[in-house]
Structure 1
Amino acid sequence: MPPPNALQLLQSIFGYEQFRGRQADIVSHVANGGDALVLMPTGGGKSLCYQIPALMRDGCAVVVSPLIALMQDQVEGLHQLGIDAAFLNSTQTLDETRDVERRFMSGSLKLLYVAPERLLTPRFMGLMESGPVSLFAIDEAHCVSQWGHDFRPEYIGLSVLHERFPTVPRIALTATADALTRAEIVKRLALENAAEFVSSFDRPNIRYRIVEKDNARKQLLDFIEREHDGDVGIVYCLSRKRVEDTAQFLCDNGITALPYHAGLSSDVRARNQTRFLREDGIVMVATIAFGMGIDKPDVRFVAHIDLPKSLEGYYQETGRAGRDGLPSNAWLAYGLNDVMQLKEMIENGQAPEAQKQVERQKLSAMLGLAETVACRRQTILAYFGETSAPCGNCDNCLSPPKTWDATEAARKALSCVFRTGQRFGAGHIIDVLLGKRTDKVEMHLHDQVSTFGIGKDMPEAAWRSVLRQLLAGGYLQTEPEFGGLQLTDLARPLLRGELSVQLRGLPEKKRERAERGQKRSAASLDIAPADDALWQALRSKRRALADAQAVPAYLIFSDATLKAMLDAKPATLAEMAHISGVGAQKLERYGLEFLDVLHAS
């Protein structure tokens, strides 16, 4: 019997008319027994690249997934499509484990999800050597890289798959990997002979916006209330305390927000993650401990109220918004203290110098994105080796920032750092520039230095912006022991008048107000007022079906599929079958129920 056709499977089971991007090439390559390294942005359809080959090949695909908590929902999603899949992890009883192993050995399973720790045990290795393995899929493959942002030592052991199962095809997948990380994935997973499939990193449905911090929690609240009232979102913070304080602040202001960080008990983390996945309108406030492998497609915004450590981390985190392809926002507030704190963390860390240098370069790239006056999307894509035209959809494209000749201001700031001994933080330097006789200024006799008061012509906010951009531009650095500001070699020609510097101007309040009106409509799902009642009825039906099965609502149908129903208003099952995301199994299970809702409108 010939293997099923890939396009037929895509249409009949998954409900999509055509493959996207390089999906068809990847599926064909892996289904025919080839190894592959796949770089595809979050929401780009990576899972189809191994799920369809798993259905085409004899045996069961073993999927390495780093997070136990998400396996159940991934498997339930496949069950909704009529695919026999299972997971093995520490939450199962012995009887449940044996049942999964029996199904694997019998050949009835098509996909089996396991954590890397379990895969490497002698018991599981023996199981795979005796059973019908069709392929290995290594998800979140960047975890194998010590240079990456999510390094997990247990991933290094996955090189054993090539050694023990040389004839079984392997597909390694990740959403973000620079050249250094990509090279390490190839080396550590022995993928030197694998075909590399690098898709465009562009996520055109995400609008990138970066603002200067001015009471970040209040700015965040305004952003959510103005543009995402009732929407699902993720807010990333750098510290555990900031996570808890921010979640409480949002709750106090009427937003259903939950905290997530490694300091919480495993029960609390699991409970909060389940609520986020299965309820509507939840905002998860988290450290970077949250999010890897999150498949929730209707996250409408990702916000950062602290500067991320790297552009890879930022891009992967923001990529959790809008996986369904509908308009979404990536919003970041950052300030001078963020820059200094991250630089101090690098310098005071225990990493070897070579790794610190990599971390410095990654932070510099992130600062470059934050301070650029060019298109944000162009800057991001350029980092990943991709060229593009200005997007017309980020904050810089919609409201081009002004620049100014800051040479004189920069020289004043650098001179003040030098005159005060190159060991004080930004706050103290600004006090000296503004001529403030604080106890600290007087104690160190800095009211007697030549730079005392020479910056009175500019407000404090402007000086913070100048110092932040001088740090970002490499004219200043933080000294390791106490985090004070120091001049770099780049500062000296600027001080000597041998070069000039243009800096990004402060945002204008009137421009910010103008943007508010624009961004609300751009980030919405464009539901016509006349269709709002029907939209809510479709969502209510989805929620009722999901609650009855104790599964996330998006596993029934995504927002994108509901929106397609709303726009097309199919009148028959035959018409419903042409809606993107409605495969044969879901049509049979849910088609009539949603037609009833549409007919009742």
Structure 2
Amino acid sequence: MSSVLTAPDPTTADPLQILHDVFGYERFRGRQQDIVEHVCSGGDALVLMPTGGGKSLCYQIPAISRQRAGHGVSIVVSPLIALMHDQVGALHEAGVDAEFLNSTLDWNQTLDIERRMQRGEITMIYVAPERLSTPRFLELLDGLRDTDRLALFAIDEAHCVSQWGHDFRPEYRGLSILHERYPGVPRIALTATADDLTRADIVERLELQDARQFVSSFDRPNIRYAIVEKKDPTQQLLRFIEREHPDEAGVVYCQSRKRVEELAQSLCDAGLNALPYHAGLDAAVRQRHQDRFLREDGIVMCATIAFGMGIDKPDVRFVAHVDMPKNIEGYYQETGRAGRDGQAADAWMAYGLQDVVNQRRMIDESPAGEEFKQVMRGKLDALLALAEATDCRRVRLLGYFGEPSQPCGNCDNCLNPPDIWDGTDAARKLLSTIYWIRKQQGIGFGAGQVMDIVRGKTSEKVVQHGHDKLSTFGLCADISEAQLRGVLRQLIATGALQVDAAAYNTLVLTDGSRAVLKGEVPVRLRLSLNTPTARAPRRERAGKTAPAAAALDAAGQTRFAALKSWRAEVAREHNLPAYVIFHDATLAAIAERAPNSLDDLQGITGIGGKKLEAYGAEVLRVSLAAG
């Protein structure tokens, strides 16, 4: 068999050649090429690209190119140790000299990396913003600058610099020093999520006013969005997983640590392989759970937002929210962790009136200034509008980021358009009831009592307070409790009603109530977010076969399974997630091609020069043995 290989050129600074030789891709995607060429030539850039869109290559290829062109070392600012480890591990697999400096290294290891860094022997150094701003590290950078060995600054997860962002990290504010102290060194700031306000804040805080902005489409067409009315979220989640994603990896986000623990246990009791993750767990436990999620198949991670930034696992088939996030940026960032491999995935959320109450209360009780609170209320309102929407979810989501689009045909509202009803009259009756209770008794009551009154329920509490004598008693007897809760949600979402957290979550009228009471503002809602007709049709599944391999014939499936087993062994030996060795799509392409020689492996996406040299013979052996 032939084994003549086309040797990659380790000296070329050409970005396209690096893309092919190092990373094993034939062409750039989307705006990658424009970004890479701009940064390679020394330009500053702000890059907004969705999760899974290939942001890392936008700074990794310029770092390699600029080093080969004699510009020296690139500094990558990264917020999480786990993210640094996986990124550096993946670069080592591709044959790139990359290192990280963080608390996991001992003193001798740190000194060795610093010396190699000073000699210009390393292509990329990953550091946290806290380390970058220390006098010791700045001294290292000064030395590189003075010897013309400082090639590039890459600021990953750049939304962390903004107080309007969903992952604000005060330490990121100190990164303005890069422009002030090293004005001749190009900078690239990257994020997957930023609305106009956050984007403007990133530009101001990082002094990127002269940087070229590259904004890619925020659309992830492979993700199906669905939102249901919360009734019994644990059982609703179980039904969703069992119906759509049995034995597949997923992330479930909860608001509290306690809820994370309870839900993980409930899923385990139901026979799922679930793990908890939150900041209250011991660091070693968190690391162990994250490693298992990244390295094993079919694990469901129940987590707070402490989990997820930089999670590159490509085969997460669903992200679920059993509690509503704070804003659309958080929702988009978290749901974007599903389907990074481009295969079909789901974003599922259950939300209810109490979610609205809780989020409003957290904003109102925050010690922040009123300007900040107003912005946060606006962001929450946008998410509530998405949740209550009766039109295409994707159009609403993309519209929030300023991107026009057409109905997608792949969200719950497109697949099963909801029935709409006019809730204006019910809203007026609810607000009137709240008004008269306050006027007659000087105190307020919660949502349950108000709904009992308008539905004409003679509960003990209704009779005790004489609320059965109110003129609005029983005026909504023909309307279900679920529908009335929807009306209250929308009234709270639009600011026509408030919840007084200091007075046992009682309902309070606002200045916005008057327009609704006068019938000047219509209230139109879906009949229910959880009716059987709202269920999306089940997607065609291929058993436990990975989506990337679903189209293979029987022989191809056998080769794919053998290659996947081999990959798992290699990943364990290297202490890396399996996808860092090869993605499923690469294994599927090998299985489909059925190679008979090393030459046959060349040109397969994901097989760069180093991986072909390191694994080519073994891949060929496994594939041939599997027939």
Q: Note whether the superposition's TM-score is higher than 0.5.
A: yes
| C-alpha distance in structure 1 between counterparts of 2:357 and 2:560, whole Å | 47
Counterpart check, 1:492 vs 2:508: no
Distance of aligned partners of 1:394 and 1:196 in 2 relative to their CA distance in 1, 3 Å threshold: same
Aligned twin of 2:94 = 81
Aligned residue identity for 2:315: D
DSSP 3-state at the match of 1:338: helix
| 1:502 CA drift (Å) | 2.0
Structure 1: stretches of 5+ with no match in the other structure:
none
Is the contact made by 1:233 and 1:284 (CA closer than 8 Å) also made in structure 2? yes
| C-alpha distance in structure 1 between counterparts of 2:530 and 2:399, whole Å | 28
Which 10-residue stretch deviates more, 168-177 or 321-330? 321-330
Aligned twin of 2:364 = 347
| C-alpha distance in structure 2 between counterparts of 1:325 and 1:314, whole Å | 19
| C-alpha distance in structure 2 between counterparts of 1:194 and 1:232, whole Å | 38
Aligned twin of 1:56 = 65
| C-alpha distance in structure 2 between counterparts of 1:11 and 1:248, whole Å | 45
CA offsets per residue over residues 233-270 of structure 1, 9 Å max, x none? 11111111111111111111111111111111222222
Aligned residue identity for 1:557: F
| 1:526 CA drift (Å) | 6.8
DSSP 3-state at the match of 2:114: helix
Counterpart check, 1:398 vs 2:421: no
| 1:226 CA drift (Å) | 1.4
CA offsets per residue over residues 483-507 of structure 1, 9 Å max, x none? 3222334432332334543211215
Aligned twin of 1:15 = 24
Aligned twin of 2:584 = 559
Structure 1 residues 163-182: aligned runs within 5 Å: 163-182=180-199
Aligned twin of 2:550 = 527
Distance of aligned partners of 1:252 and 1:414 in 2 relative to their CA distance in 1, 3 Å threshold: same
| C-alpha distance in structure 1 between counterparts of 2:375 and 2:185, whole Å | 35
TM-score by length of 1: 0.95
Structure 1 residues 76-475: aligned runs within 5 Å: 76-131=89-144, 132-421=149-438, 423-475=444-496
Distance of aligned partners of 1:257 and 1:166 in 2 relative to their CA distance in 1, 3 Å threshold: same
Is the contact made by 1:227 and 1:519 (CA closer than 8 Å) also made in structure 2? no
Aligned twin of 2:523 = 501
| C-alpha distance in structure 2 between counterparts of 1:474 and 1:566, whole Å | 57
| C-alpha distance in structure 2 between counterparts of 1:567 and 1:389, whole Å | 35
Is the contact made by 1:336 and 1:465 (CA closer than 8 Å) also made in structure 2? yes
| C-alpha distance in structure 1 between counterparts of 2:517 and 2:489, whole Å | 17
| C-alpha distance in structure 1 between counterparts of 2:75 and 2:138, whole Å | 11
Aligned twin of 1:27 = 36
Distance of aligned partners of 1:94 and 1:568 in 2 relative to their CA distance in 1, 3 Å threshold: same
Counterpart check, 1:543 vs 2:556: no
Is the contact made by 1:226 and 1:520 (CA closer than 8 Å) also made in structure 2? no
Is the contact made by 2:549 and 2:557 (CA closer than 8 Å) also made in structure 1? no
Distance of aligned partners of 1:143 and 1:519 in 2 relative to their CA distance in 1, 3 Å threshold: farther
DSSP 3-state at the match of 1:367: helix
Counterpart check, 1:478 vs 2:499: yes
| 1:453 CA drift (Å) | 2.6
Distance of aligned partners of 1:445 and 1:43 in 2 relative to their CA distance in 1, 3 Å threshold: same
Which 10-residue stretch deviates more, 318-327 or 402-411? 402-411
Aligned twin of 2:4 = none
| C-alpha distance in structure 2 between counterparts of 1:518 and 1:324, whole Å | 17
Distance of aligned partners of 1:521 and 1:178 in 2 relative to their CA distance in 1, 3 Å threshold: farther
Distance of aligned partners of 1:597 and 1:401 in 2 relative to their CA distance in 1, 3 Å threshold: farther
| 1:413 CA drift (Å) | 2.1
Aligned residue identity for 2:32: Q
Aligned twin of 2:55 = 46
Distance of aligned partners of 1:521 and 1:270 in 2 relative to their CA distance in 1, 3 Å threshold: same
Distance of aligned partners of 1:2 and 1:551 in 2 relative to their CA distance in 1, 3 Å threshold: closer
Aligned twin of 1:576 = 601
| C-alpha distance in structure 1 between counterparts of 2:241 and 2:593, whole Å | 30
Count of residue pairs the alignment pairs up: 600
| C-alpha distance in structure 1 between counterparts of 2:264 and 2:530, whole Å | 29
DSSP 3-state at the match of 1:420: helix
| C-alpha distance in structure 2 between counterparts of 1:72 and 1:143, whole Å | 20
| 1:410 CA drift (Å) | 2.2
Aligned residue identity for 1:486: V
Aligned twin of 1:67 = 80
| C-alpha distance in structure 2 between counterparts of 1:186 and 1:593, whole Å | 48
DSSP 3-state at the match of 1:21: coil
DSSP 3-state at the match of 1:137: strand
Is the contact made by 2:129 and 2:175 (CA closer than 8 Å) also made in structure 1? yes
Which 10-residue stretch deviates more, 67-76 or 459-468? 459-468
| 1:328 CA drift (Å) | 1.1
| C-alpha distance in structure 1 between counterparts of 2:289 and 2:401, whole Å | 33
Structure 2: stretches of 5+ with no match in the other structure:
1-9
| C-alpha distance in structure 1 between counterparts of 2:195 and 2:310, whole Å | 19
| C-alpha distance in structure 1 between counterparts of 2:586 and 2:450, whole Å | 55
TM-score by length of 2: 0.91
| C-alpha distance in structure 2 between counterparts of 1:505 and 1:526, whole Å | 40
Is the contact made by 1:327 and 1:525 (CA closer than 8 Å) also made in structure 2? no
Aligned twin of 1:6 = 15
DSSP 3-state at the match of 2:75: strand
| 1:533 CA drift (Å) | 4.2
| 1:53 CA drift (Å) | 0.5
Is the contact made by 1:226 and 1:516 (CA closer than 8 Å) also made in structure 2? no
| C-alpha distance in structure 1 between counterparts of 2:225 and 2:558, whole Å | 31
Is the contact made by 1:378 and 1:390 (CA closer than 8 Å) also made in structure 2? yes
Which 10-residue stretch deviates more, 557-566 or 12-21? 557-566
DSSP 3-state at the match of 1:409: helix
DSSP 3-state at the match of 1:517: coil
Distance of aligned partners of 1:568 and 1:445 in 2 relative to their CA distance in 1, 3 Å threshold: farther
Aligned residue identity for 1:130: G
CA offsets per residue over residues 17-55 of structure 1, 9 Å max, x none? 111111111111111111111111111111101100101
Aligned residue identity for 1:403: I
Distance of aligned partners of 1:572 and 1:447 in 2 relative to their CA distance in 1, 3 Å threshold: farther
Which 10-residue stretch deviates more, 561-570 or 253-262? 561-570
| C-alpha distance in structure 1 between counterparts of 2:449 and 2:548, whole Å | 47
| C-alpha distance in structure 2 between counterparts of 1:339 and 1:86, whole Å | 44
Is the contact made by 1:30 and 1:169 (CA closer than 8 Å) also made in structure 2? yes
Which 10-residue stretch deviates more, 388-397 or 304-313? 388-397
DSSP 3-state at the match of 2:99: strand
Which 10-residue stretch deviates more, 430-439 or 132-141? 430-439
DSSP 3-state at the match of 2:360: helix
| 1:534 CA drift (Å) | 4.0
Is the contact made by 2:491 and 2:497 (CA closer than 8 Å) also made in structure 1? yes
DSSP 3-state at the match of 2:213: strand
Is the contact made by 1:175 and 1:316 (CA closer than 8 Å) also made in structure 2? yes
| 1:451 CA drift (Å) | 2.1
| C-alpha distance in structure 2 between counterparts of 1:508 and 1:43, whole Å | 30
